[in-house]
Amino acid sequence: MDKSEAANLLKEIKANHAKLNSCSKHEFGKVIGDRTNGYSTRQNMRTCSRCDGKMDDSQIILYAKGYKAAGGNPDDIGQFIDGQALC
Ligand SMILES: [Zn+2]
């Protein structure tokens, strides 16, 4: 990856974080692709239908657990990941 590609990647990451941070409640749908995280585990990527931000399933599951801990119903944010309930 050259400097220009790295700069574009950083720009995309910042734009995605801005979308996610501006959203009051994410709602995730079908898998749109995958990525390898820092532990070399391939994770499905999904898009929030409300903010268009992208997260992988490991992040979505943590988000769902936090949402549930705050008194919300995790089914409201996407129901199931690959047939498994989020919480
Ligand atoms: Zn969202």
Q: Which residue has the tokens 């996407």?
A: 78
Are 33 and 20 spatial neighbours (Cβ–Cβ below 8 Å)?
A: no
- Say if 85 falls within a structural domain: no
Residue 73 lies in a domain: yes
pLDDT of residue 48: 93
Whole domain around residue 43: which residue ranges?
3-78
> Is 0.85 topped by the overall pTM?
no
Ligand 1 centre to CA of 77 (Å) is: 9
Taking the centre of ligand 1 as the mean of its atom positions, its distance from the CA of residue 68, in whole angstroms, is 16
Q: What is the pLDDT of residue 86?
A: 61
For residue 84, the model assigns a pLDDT of 63
* Within-domain flag for 51: yes
Which residues have CB atoms below 5 A from the ion given as ligand 1?
23, 26, 48, 50-51
Number of domains into which the chain is organized: 1
Mean pLDDT for each 10-residue chunk of the chain (87 residues)? 91 96 90 66 84 90 89 82 59
Domain assignment present for residue 64? The answer is yes
pLDDT of residue 32: 75
In a domain, 14, yes or no: yes
Residues 6+ apart with CB under 8 A from 77: 25, 26, 27, 28, 60, 63, 64, 67, 86
| Per-residue model confidence (pLDDT) at position 64 | 87
C-alpha closest to that of 28 among 44, 54, 51, 48: 48
Report yes or no: 42 and 35 within 8 Å, Cβ to Cβ.
Answer: yes
